[in-house]
Structure 1
Amino acid sequence: MKFCTFSHPARGEMRPGILTSDGAMIVDLGDGFSDMLSIIKGGDEAMARVRDLHARAEIRVPLADARLHAPVPVPEQIRDSMLFEKHVYQARAQMIRRRHPVLAPLLIKFGAAKVPDSWYKIPIYYKSNRFSVNGPDGDVIWPRYSQVMDFELEFGFFLGRRGKNIKPGEARDYMFGFTIFNDFSARDAQGLEMQSMLGPCKGKDFDTGNAMGPFLVTTDEIGDPYNLRMQARVSGKTWCDSNSSTIHHKFEDLLARVSADETVHPGEFFGSGTVGDGCGLEHGRFLKNGDVVELEVEKIGVLRNRVVRQT
């Protein structure tokens, strides 16, 4: 199933919906559920009601006439991580090139960009601002304190069940579904913060900076989450064409780590971190005012956002 949150010009409020099998229509679930969180939290009983509403399809809206929002406009929590080794290495190498342009080749040759041993031992993550979620085709407002804006090609899952001390072998049963995540980043602010050995904070936390969508695709429909083509285009030009198979730490290991002696709740979002080649930092180039970023992940769709400087 492909879930979404949408609005229609004739009915302005946001409503939960599900895409028909031909991808042309949205079945309106709003008369049965208040929002996507109520579906996620409702468990098996809610999914049985969803299937009934889907089968009856009493209210259907053409996808072309609907405005899509983030599938879950205000998640219960956002935790983002760094699960792709190539991104970690290339990002470190580019930061060295930016800070030490003359010495960078020598520093990198002798291991300054080496991925830390600790990264291989545990999947690491941070908590992001759950109130700054943006949706498909929403403008990302460039924060005034930054001159260097970047995108990040990620995907991740929403948790469907409450749990604690979840074993990796059981983790898939706790995953409700997957969506695309663009963790827009103010790289100059982030770089300053990380030098102080804490963060990121304002490098990530600004209004409209956490883009998600276009759909929340259930785990059974995704199938193998580690064999999905992942692409990024900036104003029509391809910057990244990779695959989720390049992931190092699996989502199951991440969930086991996060839930160790800590209760996790349905409606929380867990991001993969950036796939290798999936951000401007790795290429040594960044976004310009008006750039349109399109992230595409196989079986989920295309998440499109424009970055706009404030006047």
Structure 2
Amino acid sequence: MQALIDAGAESLAKAREFVSAHAGDFDPDEVRWLAPLPVPVQMRDFLVFEVHMEGAVWNGARLRERLGEGPPAPTSAPPVPAIWYQQPIYYKCNRFAVAGPGNRIDWPSYSFVADYELELACVIGRGGRDICVDDAPSHIFGYTILNDLTARDAQFKEMQGPLGPAKGKDFDGANVLGPVIVTADEIDPTALTMRAWVNDELWSEGSSATMHWSFPELIAYVSRSETLHPGEILGSGTVGNGCGLELGRMLRDRDVVTLEIDGIGRQTTIINAPHIPERLIL
């Protein structure tokens, strides 16, 4: 996939011709789908949904209180920091911690609070620097689903130091990508329905239409005095109410998490966490 992205439009056209000629040669249900980019050249994850920003901060304080690691939580959601409206906020992910759909993820032994995060992600197809918003769509190869698995107890402990997440996000298989990358010409990312199920129970439903910052705006921001490269991944951050933290209930051992975004498909992850037998409810 990385080679195909690097090769540009002409090679993509040849790939389409090949697929059209051989579309019936195999049954997609009979193959094991790997992550479309097992080791991306770079990964950044943003926070562009206002509802998630409000809910995550508030319920994060509630979680810290519940774990005995913070003061009493406020009785209502605090205001969103002004900087969030002034510029996109992101952190760099561990690009070596990517998993594909259908995998069993071993939850880290140091964490007892497991969570999923339902995200849309874009894949850069053409590199560049100082890209303007109007030109940014031409730099997008396509879109995929990202499950940003998060060890919440580790995350909120380490983020008391003002530097960002580390072991809360950095463990094997924490970034689940797939099942496919849908090329940009085949999908409109501005109003996609996004859903998450846990053990076939619908937990989350939202829309990419509620993004405060668009992908072209994210590309323009990141590329200021910095070169973006083909194959880089930009995650949208969690859609509003798109994680257990916002809903006040966490994952437990053997939970099956299924994420779906219209036009892209579904991905499923099984949580292997025998040290978390019960579901934490806030």
User: TM class, shorter-chain normalised?
Assistant: over 0.9
Structure 1 residue runs without a partner (length 5+): 1-35
List per-residue Cα deviations over 1:205-247 (Å, max 9, x = no partner). 100111011110011111x211100001111111111111111
Q: Distance in 2 between matches of 1:119 and 1:64?
A: 42
Residues 187, 103 of structure 1: CA spacing in aligned structure 2 closer, same or farther, 3 A cutoff? Answer: closer
**How much has 1:45 moved relative to structure 2?**
2.2
Aligned to 2:253, which of 275, 289, 292? 289
Quick check: 1:158–1:175 contact (8 Å CA) kept in 2? Answer: yes
Cα drift, residue 100 of structure 1: 4.4
**How far did residue 104 of structure 1 move?**
3.2
TM-score under structure 2 normalisation? 0.92
Q: Deviations over 1:77-100 (max 9, x none)?
A: 111110101000011111222334
SS at match of 1:104: coil
Please list, as runs of the form range in 1=range in 2, the aligned pairs for 1:151-170 lying within 5 A after superposition. 151-170=116-135
Cα distance in 2 between the residues matched to 1:155 and 1:212: 10
Aligned residue pairs: how many? 271
Change (3 A) 1:291 1:252: same
Higher strand proportion (structure 1 or 2): 1
Cα distance, 1:198 vs structure 2 = 1.1
Greater RCO (Cα-Cα under 8 Å, separation 6 or more)? 2
Q: Which consecutive segments of 4 or more residues in structure 1 shift more than 2 A?
A: 96-106
Tell me if structure 1 keeps the 8 A contact 2:58–2:74: no
More deviation in 92-101 or 152-161? 92-101
Is residue 179 of structure 1 aligned with residue 144 of structure 2? yes
Matched, 1:247 2:211: yes
Alpha-carbon distance in 1 for matches of 2:167, 2:16: 42
Corresponding residue for residue 3 of structure 1: none
Distance in 2, Cα, partners of 1:271 & 1:84: 12
**CA separation of 1:151/1:58 partners in 2, compared to 1, >3 Å: closer, same or farther?**
closer
CA-to-aligned-CA distance 1:230-284 (integer Å, 9 cap, x gap): 0011111111111111111111111111000000000100000000000011011
In angstroms, what is the RMSD of aligned CA positions?
Answer: 1.6
Which among 114, 132, 139 is matched to residue 149 of structure 1? 114
Show the counterpart of 1:99: 64
Q: Which residue of 1 aligns with 2:26?
A: 61
1:172 & 1:98 partners in 2: Cα distance?
A: 39
| Distance in 2 of aligned mates of 1:58 and 1:275 | 34
**Offset of residue 199 of structure 1:** 2.0
The aligned amino acid for 2:220 is: A
Q: CA deviation at 1:105?
A: 4.5
Percent identical: 46
Alignment gaps of 5+ in structure 2: 276-282
1:87-142 deviations in whole A, cap 9, x for unaligned?
Answer: 00011111222334795354x3xxx6211000000011111111111111011110
Q: Does 1:229 align with 2:198?
A: no
Rounded to whole Å, the distance in 1 between the matches of 2:218 and 2:29 is 37
In the other structure, the counterpart of 1:278 is 242
Is the Cα–Cα contact under 8 Å of residues 133 and 219 in structure 2 kept in the other structure?
Answer: yes
Q: Deviations over 1:157-200 (max 9, x none)?
A: 11000100011111110000000000000000000111011120
Give the Cα–Cα distance (whole angstroms) in 2 for the partners of residues 48 and 246 of structure 1.
Answer: 33
The code of the aligned residue for 1:132 comes to A
- Displacement of 1:48 after TM fit? 2.5
SS of 1:88 mapped into structure 2: helix
C-alpha displacement of 1:60? 2.4
Q: Which residue in the other structure is 2:39 paired with? A: 74
